[in-house]
Structure 1
Amino acid sequence: MQIAEIGLLGATGPAGSALAARLADVGYEVIVGSRSKYRAMEARDVIVDAWPDRDLRIEAADNHGAASAEVVVIATPWNAAAETAASVADQLHGKVVICMSNALSKVGREFQPLVPPRGSVSASVQAEIRDAYIAAAFHHVPAKALADLERDVESDILICSDHPHATETVAAIVSRVPGLRPLDAGELSNATAIEAFTAVLLQLNVRYRTRVAVRFTGIPDHAVAVSGGGHASGVAGSAAPVTAAPVDGTRHGDDDVDDGVGGGVGPDVAVT
């Protein structure tokens, strides 16, 4: 199934709006959603006005409108992710839903991971919409880097899901974005570690006054090629070392803080 339209719930924060811009830039029709359609319209206008020479097909809607898309991304702050999913559950039946939120807290100058009762934000979302196909992804991408459409973002995107179809769908979306590489990181239970690792990336941003993205070495490109069967990317053989590469950017989330990494609080990862 070729995806044409992607909706983002809670996409008015740095992470969500950055991902919306990047997805629109590679040809997807994007619906920016928020609890308030007017806030979504403001977020849409900021993106479009920033890139007047690009053909960005972005619409604005409330979260119900955004949930009508073929694939839906939850880009809210972590403590609103499950509630937001539940509020549009009737529209998510049978759809691939991507959760990019990280449960983090800042204590002094330190970022600390929080573990929700179900183990991860993504698992909490799955519990609210059991008939949707949940995948955890986009946790470690710097929001500012993602929002800068003039530069590619060099980063691996870890994808966790209990549903091979969801993993394949997300991997296909990631593969459309120059510089991003999708990696099948296994079942949704692994989202606990992936979300928590965002705290480490944020701390590296603070310590070294930079914004980092994650690359895994030792995995050949042919092993992560998006395929039609099974999980989209296979990680076989010996364990691969991780490298944290500095990038020019920051990351994502709806009404969130922009400390840097993907969907939550992140190293130039976006905080959702």
Structure 2
Amino acid sequence: MMEQKRKGAALIREIARTEPPHGVLAIWYLGQESVIVKGDGITIYVDPYFSGDLDDGDWRRTFPAPITPEEIQGVDLCLITHEHDDHMDAKTLPWLHRSSPKAPIVAPACCKPALLEMGISAPGLLTADDRQPMELFSKLRLTPIAAAHEQLERDTDGGPRYVGYVLELNGVTLFHAGDTLVYPELIERVGALKPDIALLPINGRDYFRRQRGIVGNMDYREAAHFAREIGADTVIPLHYDLFAVNAEKPGHFVDYMYEQFPEQKCHVMARGERFVYVTPRAFLQP
């Protein structure tokens, strides 16, 4: 446990010290769909899931979170894709809010009651609506994208239940898909925003998992074709390794990508890794 805390503290220090130049984003992978993105001085946590029990029956974590909730520091913005526990973590978000009380938390409208129950203050909650892009910190354009997990669902006001996010920051455009299947409008909407990098779930779905109440996503083949269709420069797979009952082998994704689209760049991130992405436009002459 002490060794894990040392690793978590080191990771937090690494994030604080990392200052990507223009045309660059730094991304840290923390398991499932939890990532940290940093660029232009802004540190963004997406779906931070840092709790969970390593011995919790079928839903035990296969590895501990690289950082613990109480180690969280220096958050400027938190993005939540939907209300499922492994994306909107009631044991992580209160710590995040206490450590960084000025950091807005963006989530679909249906998440607000649960976030308020966690002690998140209402002024810090922003609604993720796919009809309303946001301009934040005068540096970040954030576009929520409706996700289909496994269906497109909207509330009575037309707001999406599940979302992904397109972040335009520091000269780079990043798409975090959240939990979703591929549907035609998703290809059109994301493709129009020309993402440099796409973070996509690959765990798929099947009848037997659905019978157990496990809601599915695109599989590794669909993720590969989707990345190609939207014109992403680089694709990173997510949502494949945290729970044995809902897992996929990222090697299948890499093999399929190599066989079908050998010129498509992809990267499988190690747990806690910092991946420094440089857009091809970074070295173009003005």
Superposition TM-score, scaled by structure 2 size: 0.33
Of Structure 1 and Structure 2, the greater helix share is in 1
Choose 1 or 2 for highest CA Rg. Answer: 2
Superposition TM-score, scaled by structure 1 size: 0.34
- Structure number with greater CO (CA < 8 Å, separation at least 6) is 1
